[in-house]
Structure 1
Amino acid sequence: MTTETPRQTRQRPHSDDSGASSAYGESLADIYDSLYPTSGPAVDSMVAFLQELRPAPASLLELGVGTGRLAIPLAAHGYRVHGVDASPAMLAKLHENDTTGEVTTAVGDFAALAVEERYDLVLTALNTFFMLPTQEQQIDCLRGIHDALADGGAAVFETYNPQVYHRLTEATTRVGHLAPDALLLDTIQVNQALQSVLVVHTVMGSGRLRKVPEVSRYAWPAEFDVMARLAGLRVIGRWADWDRSPVTDQAEKHVYVVERQTV
C-alpha cells in the first residue's frame, strides 16, 4: 500500500453539475454539525470498520468531506486524510474544527475526480454518492475512485437503503430539533421512475426561515454492482451498518466495500 502524503486534487472534464452540491454545502455549513453529530457510537463504529479494513497509518481520501465529521476523528486515529468538497464554506468550518491541522483539503467536484496521489482508502459516506443526480455522473465518480486507489486499496460507500424512500408513495414531512429555539422540517418527494428523491430542508429559528433543496438519485444494489464493474471495480462486501450486520429490507443504510477488479 502507498505511503505517500496526499497533497493535490485536480478535476477531469465532465458535464458540470457541481453547483447543486456547492449550494447545499454553502447553505447548511453553519448548522451541519447540529444535523450530524461529530462524535458518538456511529462515528466510533465507522472508525473501527475502517481500522479493520485498512489500518492506520493508511492514506485516506474522503469525498464530500463536509465539516470534517469523519475526517477529523480518522486523522486523530492516525490516518493521513485528504478531503474534497464542493463547498468552500464547509471546508472553512472543517478547518475551524480541525484544531491540529491534520486534514488537508481541496475544493472540487468529486464526480470529476482526478488525483495525483493514490490512496489506501477512499471514503464516500452519509449518502454523498447518491447526491450525484445521474447514472452517468455516478459512473464517472466510480472511475475516478478506481484511478485514485493504490494497489491493494479499497473504497467504502455509505448510502441509504433505496427501499427507505422508494416505498414512499406521497409527500412526507419529518420534524427534527436542531436547538431549543430551532426546528428542521424535511419535506420528501420521491419519483420512483427516476429513482430520484427531493428533500426540502426548512430551517426555522430565531425569527428566520431558510429552505435548502437536496436532490439524490438512488441506485439499487444490483445496479451499483454493474456500475462498479463498468468502472473497473468489484463489490466485495455489503452490510446494513458499520457493525457489519446483514442487509435486510428494513435496514436504513448500506455500507459497500469495493476493490479494483483483477484481470
Structure 2
Amino acid sequence: MTGLNDPAFFDRYAHEYDVRDNPDPTAAVEFLAALVPDGGRVLELAIGTGRVAVPLARRGVAVEGIEGSPAMLERLRAKPGGADLPVVLGDMADVAVDGPYDLAYLVFNTLFNLPDQDRQVDLFQGVGRVLAPGGLFVVEAFVQDLRDFDRDQRVATRRITEDSVQMEFLQHDPVAQAVTYQRVSIDAGGTTLRPLRLRYCWPAELDLMARLGGLRLRHRWNGWDRAPFTADSRQHVSVYERV
C-alpha cells in the first residue's frame, strides 16, 4: 500500500474520474470566481482533470495548476480549453511555481491526500510564499465524524444488484488521524479494488497550519453556498488571507 503516498497514485483513477459520482463544480466555480480581482492570477493545487479549472477559465479567469498524476493531466489536456492552462507536473505540497497569485484553492478534500502533517504544513507554507499580500487561499474539506467507526473500523454496503455488489472497508488510525479505504466492486467481470488513504485535519489544526504559512482565517462556511459553519457541520469551505 506504499503507492498510496505517491503523487502519481491517482493515475489509476484518471480514466473514470469524470464519469463517477463527483460533485457538480458549478457552486465552487461561482464562489471562486467572485474572489478573483480583475486581471487576477489563480492557482489550483491538484488541478486533476480540470473539473473546476476549465469552467473557471471559461469565465475569463487566468488559471494555472499543479498536478501529480500524469494521467490526470493528460485528461485535462484533452478537454476543450484544457491544453491552454499552464500546469506544472509535480507534488502539490512543494508548490513549485512562481507567484504572486491573487487566489489559490484546493478542493474536494484533496489536502487530505498528503501523507502526513509535515507535508500538509509544507503546502500551507508554499502557498503563503506564492500568494500576493492580501491574496486568498480556499480549502474545501470534510470534518471527520469519529462516530462513523466501531473500534476504528467500518464496513458498508454501497450498492447491490442481482449480479454485482459494491462494498467499502475502512480502517481508522486515531494517532495518525488517517483513514485507509478499500472500495471493492464484484461483478461478472471480476473484482475491482479502489484503495485510498486520507490524513484528515480538524479545522483548528488547519488554522494553525495557515498561521505557520503566514495566513489567517478570514471566513469559514459550511459549503460553497456560504451557509454558516456550526458544530454539526460535516464539511467546510475555509478562506485564508495572506498577511
* TM-score bracket for the superposition, by shorter chain length: 0.7 to 0.9
Query: Does structure 2 conserve the Cα–Cα contact (< 8 Å) formed by 1:37 and 1:69?
Result: no
> Match of 2:127?
145
CA contact (8 A) 1:18 1:86 kept: no
How far is the alpha carbon of 1:117 from its aligned partner? 2.8
Deviations 1:115-147 (A, max 9, x none): 223211111001111111211111111000001
Q: What letter matches 2:229 in structure 1?
A: V
The alignment status of 1:34 with 2:26, answered yes or no, reads no
**Change in 2 beyond 3 A, CA 1:36/1:145:** farther
Matches within 5 A, 1:198-217: 198-204=180-186, 207-217=189-199
**Cα distance change on mapping 1:215 and 1:198 into 2, 3 Å:** same
Query: In the alignment, is the contact (CA less than 8 A) between 1:84 and 1:110 conserved in 2?
Result: yes
Structure 2 residue aligned with 1:190: 172
How does 1:54-65 map onto structure 2 within 5 Å?
54-55=36-37, 57-65=39-47
User: Aligned partners of 1:260 and 1:98: how far apart in 2?
Assistant: 33
CA shift for structure 1 position 247: 1.4
Equivalent-residue separation in structure 1 for 2:106 and 2:190 (angstroms) = 32
Secondary structure of 2:18's aligned partner: helix
8 Å CA contact 2:45–2:66 kept in 1: the answer is yes
In the TM superposition, residue 249 of structure 1 has moved relative to its aligned partner by: 3.7
TM-score (norm 2): 0.87
Query: How many angstroms apart in 2 are the aligned matches of 1:79 and 1:205?
Result: 43
Q: Distance in 1 between matches of 2:149 and 2:232?
A: 14
**Alignment partner of 1:20 is 2:6:** yes
Aligned partners of 2:7 and 2:90 also within 8 Å: no
1:78 is aligned with what amino acid?
Answer: G
* 1:182 Cα offset (Å): 8.1
Q: Which amino acid aligns with 2:14?
A: A
Kindly tell me: are residues 223 and 57 of structure 1, through their superposed partners in 2, closer, same or farther at Cα, counting changes over 3 Å?
Answer: same
1:1-263 aligned within 5 A: 19-23=5-9, 25-37=10-22, 42-55=24-37, 57-99=39-81, 101-163=83-145, 167-169=148-150, 170-175=153-158, 185-204=167-186, 207-261=189-243
RMSD: 2.4
Query: What SS does the corresponding residue of 2:47 show, helix, strand or coil?
Result: coil
Number of equivalences: 237
5+ long unaligned stretches in structure 1: 1-16
Deviations 1:63-82 (A, max 9, x none): 11111110111111111111
Q: Distance between the aligned counterparts of 1:91 and 1:121, measured in 2? A: 21
Distance, in Å, in 2 between the alignment partners of 1:18 and 1:116 is: 28
Shift of 1:253: 1.4
Report the Cα offset of residue 203 of structure 1: 4.5
Q: TM-score under structure 1 normalisation?
A: 0.81
Change (3 A) 1:102 1:186: farther
